[in-house]
Structure 1
Amino acid sequence: MMLFRKLQWSKGKAISPVLLIYAVFWSSGLHQDASTARRRNVVSLQGKMVKMECMHMSDATEGLILTLRRNGTPTELCSLRFRNFRIWDRVCKGSVTLEYDHHTKWVYAVIQRVSVNDSGIYNCTLESMIPPPVKTLTYTYICLTVSAPPVVELSLVSPFFNNCENTLTCCAWDFYPQDIQFSWYKDGELITSTSKNDSLFPNSNGSYSYISNLIISRSDWSRSVQFSCQVNHSALESPVVKHISLPRAEKDSSKLPIWILAAVLAGLLMILVMIILAMTLIFRSKTTSQSSADRVMPETAVMQLPQECQRENCHTTYALLNYYPGSTL
């Protein structure tokens, strides 16, 4: 009550002490207001190196500690301790580190190969340890958004056989953020309300994947020259367009391609030639064996006497020939 009366004693004399107390209170770092925090937004592509401005240090760095945290958690990702006007201690965990530039007096939070999982809000807090107790001087909020462009693939699930319809599948893999746009085209014209069973699902690394299916009939495929899938995403400089088409000669699956028919005919011809050659060899082998058998006379062959030879001297002559086979008359 007495303090209130003293302050009301004279307006002109009361304002100066209040301003003086406020100035001392502010400069001592005891006043912690959200207005003192600096805020920065950083956007990067996945796989790049990120260098974020964390804190600008003055020449008087003795007894200061700089701490980096993420998403408001008390866990320290990295910390720097200054003593004797230099970095006395550095403790960092994970992929992020703090680097001090002596020329610019800036402390940077650096991530060598940033990934989607690194997205979040980082808090750099500067505190004074000397003299105790520890006092918070200032802090910086860094909002990091890591974008990942999609990898787009377009394929036909299975070729036509006896089905009346088939499915084209367009896939976008590993993109971030999750907002993405798919469009289907047939011969350059936009197709609407023909896709079904589209699905968006998260990946283990924090990114997303999307699968879009287009149902096409056999007649649409045979009449159309080209189907296209267009994917647009914030991480892309321009939309990605994938095409799929078949030459008109191959669109009727009921007709076999010419090269298949030629291969079948060539195989049959080779089989026929091999059969003919095998039969020829067998026939020649049998003929050779038969002629060889006819030319060989057994040593025990017995010569028959002619019917008109009935005299005794004739028997004697043929007996001598039979005894001496090599002799001639």
Structure 2
Amino acid sequence: MSSSDNCFAKCILIMISLVLIYCEDHIFQTPGVLRAFVGESVSITFSNWSKHLKSERMHVSWWRSKQVENPVCSITYLNDSLIQSPLCDNRTSVILKLNAGVTHFIIQDLQMNDSDLYYCKIASYIPPPTIEIEGNKTSLIVEVPPMVEVTFLPQPENSCCVQLVCKAENFYPGGIQLRWRKERTEGSVWIDSKTTIASNNSNSATSYVNLSHWKAGDVYSCLVNHSMLQNPLIRNLTIPFDEQREVGAYLWWVLASLGLIPISVVVYLLLKRSKKEPEDNQTYVNIGTTLRTQIPVANQNCNRNSHSNYSFIRHFPLRIYENTF
């Protein structure tokens, strides 16, 4: 082995030794950046502090930047027992391993508002004096893809024209881009739009497009770019009808209906009058007619010249109009 190779090997060994010495004298909070999805569980570790603290009473607490008044969760070591703080809810817990000099902070069922900077504080009270150690911060990023909805407003509040609205909600991180375009047979045309972004516990962004000219069947697309999306998210919106023509047709229909009402009334009255007949004063007279008929009766015990007379009265109705007399 040449002298140059020996020199290089010695340099490597020296660097490794320096790293080990540095690690022995320093504490670590890992990881520096932690990314996870909603509903998952994460663990942050604070280690290599046992040589700095030889305590009979120790308090380990985990904090976040958005909550400086009280820790998120903590645990106390006293008389060889561990006491969990009531500040810990059902999603957070602290694990303390004294022999290994390691503590873990666990968050279960992550929510979007859990995104923050987290750090650990360790305080030793017995024996005095009090010694405090604070770890470096871990950035927890709870990633949530946006929920996108597109709507069509025929009568926007500003009474300008038809308005297209593309709204993205409940996403994290906050950076997002919304753009509108009109789909055509020969290609797509980008449309100028106005976007408003609200950054709070529930991020939201809204893009507006005002259309003064449109027709039924036009297709518009909202494209959403976000760090949680591998490809842009596209939501299509088809104009269902022509608002101007629809309103005009509706007005004509109303006017025509109002005009037909008086015409229908007049026709009804005329038809009713034409079906009504004049009253007739009628008198029925019975005319009696007497018929005398001679019927011979053949009988050996009767007189051949004997006969019977029968009289019949027949009634004939006769209509007589009074104005003829």
Q: Which range, TM-score by smaller chain?
A: 0.5 to 0.7
Unaligned runs of 5+ in 2: 1-20, 285-325
Q: Does 1:212 align with 2:207?
A: yes
Kept after mapping to 2: 8 A contact 1:54/1:140: no
TM-score, length-scaled by structure 2: 0.56
What CA distance in whole angstroms lies between the structure 2 residues aligned with 1:128 and 1:296?
132
Indicate the residue corresponding to 2:223 in structure 1: 230
Indicate the residue corresponding to 1:107 in structure 2: 104
Indicate the residue corresponding to 1:191 in structure 2: 189
TM-score, length-scaled by structure 1: 0.55
Equivalent position to 2:173, from 171, 177, 202: 177
Indicate the residue corresponding to 1:128 in structure 2: 124
Unaligned runs of 5+ in 1: 1-22, 298-329
| Alpha-carbon spacing, 1:282–1:113, altered in 2? closer, same or farther (3 Å) | farther
Equivalent position to 2:141, from 118, 122, 145: 145
Indicate the residue corresponding to 1:313 in structure 2: none
Give CA deviations for 1:16-59 in whole Å, capped at 9, x if unaligned: xxxxxxx9xx98xxx7xxx423232222334x24432344698x
Determine what percentage of the aligned residue pairs are the same residue.
20
Q: Does 1:254 align with 2:249?
A: no
| Alpha-carbon spacing, 1:266–1:95, altered in 2? closer, same or farther (3 Å) | farther
Q: Does 1:65 align with 2:62?
A: no
The alignment's C-alpha RMSD in Å is 5.0
| Alpha-carbon spacing, 1:231–1:53, altered in 2? closer, same or farther (3 Å) | same
Kept after mapping to 2: 8 A contact 1:50/1:114: no
Give CA deviations for 1:151-204 in whole Å, capped at 9, x if unaligned: 2222233279xx996442222223332211223232264434x3143322334x
Indicate the residue corresponding to 1:244 in structure 2: 237
What CA distance in whole angstroms lies between the structure 1 residues aligned with 2:192 and 2:143?
27
Cα distance, 1:241 vs structure 2: 1.0
More strand, by proportion:
2
Indicate the residue corresponding to 1:319 in structure 2: none
Q: Return the letter of the residue paired with 2:42.
A: K
Alignment of 1:1-329 (within 5 A): 35-40=26-31, 41-46=33-38, 48-55=39-46, 63-71=57-65, 73=68, 75-92=70-87, 97-100=92-95, 107-116=104-113, 118-136=114-132, 139=135, 141-158=137-154, 166-187=162-183, 189-192=187-190, 194-203=191-200, 205=201, 207-218=202-213, 221-222=214-215, 225-246=218-239, 250-251=241-242, 253-254=244-245
More helix, by proportion:
1
What CA distance in whole angstroms lies between the structure 2 residues aligned with 1:282 and 1:167?
57
What CA distance in whole angstroms lies between the structure 1 residues aligned with 2:269 and 2:119?
88
Q: Return the letter of the residue paired with 1:191.
A: V
Cα distance, 1:232 vs structure 2: 1.4
Report which of the two structures shows the higher radius of gyration computed on alpha carbons: 2
What CA distance in whole angstroms lies between the structure 1 residues aligned with 2:106 and 2:161?
55
What CA distance in whole angstroms lies between the structure 1 residues aligned with 2:143 and 2:207?
21
What CA distance in whole angstroms lies between the structure 1 residues aligned with 2:45 and 2:222?
42
What CA distance in whole angstroms lies between the structure 2 residues aligned with 1:89 and 1:36?
23
Kept after mapping to 2: 8 A contact 1:37/1:141: no
Cα distance, 1:229 vs structure 2: 0.8
What CA distance in whole angstroms lies between the structure 2 residues aligned with 1:56 and 1:164?
62
| Alpha-carbon spacing, 1:269–1:241, altered in 2? closer, same or farther (3 Å) | same
Give CA deviations for 1:39-83 in whole Å, capped at 9, x if unaligned: 32222334x24432344698x996332111122946323210123
Report the number of matched residues: 250
